[in-house]
Chain A
Amino acid sequence: MSRDAVAPPLPPPPLAAVRARLAASPAVRTLAPFLPLVVLWAVVVELEVFPRAFFPGPLDVVRAGAALVYKGILPVHLQDSLTRLATGAAVGIVVGIPLGVLVGLHRVAYRLAWPLVVFFQAIGDIAWLPILLVWFGFSLTTMTVVIVYTVVFPIIFNAALGVRTVPQDLVRAAQMLGASPLRVLTEVLLPGALPNIVTGLRNGLGYGWRALIAAEIIVGTSGIGFMMFDARRQGSVVEMLLGMILLGVLWSVVDGALLTPLERATVERWGLTRRVE
């Protein structure tokens, strides 16, 4: 490798190439569609189609956001919401995966547990709030229970489904080769169920996120949901819009940057059972 092998400085790329490179970058492709929307929003506000107090413009929202960050209110709410979600997710995973695998392993356990899992999933997070308020009051416990509850059932559901849909032939093949039950579990069933487990995690967190917002609105001590409902009480539309945008952005980031790649990687690596579905 001689030194003069270094490429000569590139000529400035023509406009078309720049455009092509921009269009290819995922960030631009995701963000660009929102530009016309924001412009449209600004135009509608400037034309005063709706009274401004009910429908503030994008600049107002940005200004309100900056003010809230400066005062340190927004970061605290954000941190509270995310901590709750993380706690819920962690407990949900720790409790949900073993339960789901257990339910999936045993035929009778499966048949007994399945209707209950479906039913409790259907009751939905928010319907639990009133009785949890009676039991635990307006407290952090109430909120944590709601999130854990919401996260846990999709995980149980999908983990059990994953274990059930591992082809029997694979289990038998492993047994034929002398695998102990434990090894069948760790080397056949768990890897086989992994794609479903990750799907369950993704669904569960999606529901958990919404449940968290609802819980914060109703229980109301802190968090993004609380901020939005507090704004509702004061009639501050700017802060409500800010809250909604934050929720959408946050979830898009968590889902797009964390969960979707995780799911894709798992399905690619262990995804043999997906075809059985």
Chain B
Amino acid sequence: MTPPRGAGRAVWAAAPAPPLARWLGAAAWFVAPFAILLLVWEAAVRLGEVPLRVFPAPEDVLAAFRQQVATGALGRHLWASLYRVLVGSTLAIAASVPLGILVSTHRIVAAVCTPVLRFFAVLAGIAWIPLATLWFGYGFGAITFIIFNAVFFVVTYNTILGVRRIPTALVDAARSLGAGRWQVVTEVLLPGALPNIVTGIRTGMGFAWRGLIAAEIIATNAGLGYMLFLARDFYRTEVIVLGMIVIGAVWVAIDRLVLAPLERRTVERWGLARRVE
């Protein structure tokens, strides 16, 4: 069954490629644009007369990367940011999913809560920064609060939306088969709302990540956002660019490697409510 080694490249274009070759192809297509961008960047620095202090060259950024890794600064900032997102979102998810389901089991309560939640979901994140710093001081408390906020309202809102989209026939069916209240929650409502919940988590964490960077610029002494702003104070543009690349890469990694597969799998497994949309 397995194709002979080396055959992969020969038949690449014609036959369906073996997994490794296909993976390599996808990787090449993914890397190529960045390689081109890098070349353009390098060329722009070489040909243009921009001062390097204002517009760093790729090798400066690479040197900054080596230096920041060697001193351990990059690792420390990265870890500080990730830790905050982890704590804030975990707390928020743990609080919002039960609350969302509780609220949505009652029709009138849900109708009352939805506009309020939507309002706060709009505010989520950055708008809380001034107030959060006043309430919790500059530091871990304020930032966790901002992340919590960004995730909490979006996930609660989506949970309610998800429960509402479950066809009543399913709940009725479970009840007529003798399911108690608790069983309806755990076996119908929660699984039925899961696709929406996961979508909410993905959106909320997207906001949280942006909010985190903004909050770190303003309100702390560690983290990627702080690294950027500190570098700005010293005019170290190569460190700023490095920080931007890390921020983008980390979010792409979280989103593509953790959240997107999670969402896809949940929708595939429990996605009955998605069709109702």
Contact = CB atoms under 8 A, between A and B. Distances in A.
Interface of A: 29-34, 36-37, 54, 111-116, 118-120, 122-131, 133-135, 207, 210-211, 213-214, 217-218, 225, 228-229, 231-232, 235, 237, 240-241, 243-244, 247-248, 251-252, 255
Contacts of B235: 134
Contact of A123 (B37, B115, B214, B248): B248
A122 B240 contact: no
A54 B123 CA distance: 19
Given A248-B119, A248-B123, A210 B210 contact: yes
Contacts of B99: none
B122 A123 contact: no
Given A29-B115, A112-B32, 14 more contacts: A30-B115, A32-B112, A33-B115, A116-B34, A122-B249, A127-B243, A133-B232, A210-B207, A214-B126, A240-B130, A244-B127, A247-B127, A248-B122, A248-B123
Nearest to B119: A248
Interface in B229-247: 229, 231-232, 235, 237, 240-241, 243-245, 247
Contact of B33 (A112, A207, A232): A112
B125 to A, nearest CB: 6
Given A54-B135, A124-B247, A217-B214, A244 B123 contact: yes
SS of B interface (majority): helix
A210 B241 CA distance: 22
Nearest to A232: B130
B5 to A, nearest CB: 28
6 contacts: A54-B134, A114-B33, A130-B243, A229-B130, A232-B130, A252-B119
Interface residues of B, number: 57
Interface of B: 29-30, 32-34, 36-37, 54, 111-116, 118-120, 122-123, 125-131, 133-135, 207, 209-211, 213-214, 217-218, 224-225, 228-229, 231-232, 235, 237, 240-241, 243-245, 247-249, 251-252, 255-256
Contacts of B130: 217, 228-229, 231-232, 240, 243
Q: Which of A130, A207, A240 has the most CB of B within 10 A?
A: A130
Contacts of B255: 122
B126 A217 contact: yes
A127 B112 CA distance: 37
Contacts of B209: 124
A252 B118 contact: yes
Given A36-B112, A134-B54, A248 B120 contact: yes
Given A33-B116, A34-B115, A112-B36, A127 B127 contact: no
B101 to A, nearest CB: 19
A213 B218 CA distance: 13
State the 9 A-B residue pairs at the shortest beta-carbon distance, nearest first. Answer: A123-B248, A232-B130, A130-B232, A122-B251, A33-B112, A214-B214, A122-B248, A130-B228, A126-B214
A36 B235 CA distance: 51
Contacts of B32: 112
Contacts of A235: 134
B214 A115 contact: no
A31 B116 CA distance: 9
A109 B128 CA distance: 40
A126 to B, nearest CB: 5
Contacts of B131: 232, 237, 240-241, 244
Residue among A30, A133, A134, A241 with the highest chain B CB neighbour number at 10 A: A134
A253 B232 CA distance: 37
B82 to A, nearest CB: 15
Contact of B240 (A113, A114, A134, A214): A134
Given A134-B54, A134-B237, A232 B127 contact: no
A255 B54 contact: no
A255 B121 CA distance: 13
B36 to A, nearest CB: 7
A131 B210 contact: no
A123 B250 CA distance: 9
A146 to B, nearest CB: 11
Contact of B122 (A112, A124, A130, A247): A247
A28 to B, nearest CB: 11
Given A112-B33, A217-B218, A251-B122, A126 B225 contact: yes
A257 to B, nearest CB: 14
Contacts of B252: 118-119, 122
B240 A130 contact: yes
A225 B270 CA distance: 41
Contacts of B114: 33
Contacts of B111: 29, 33
A210 B244 contact: no
A130 B127 contact: no
B232 A213 contact: no
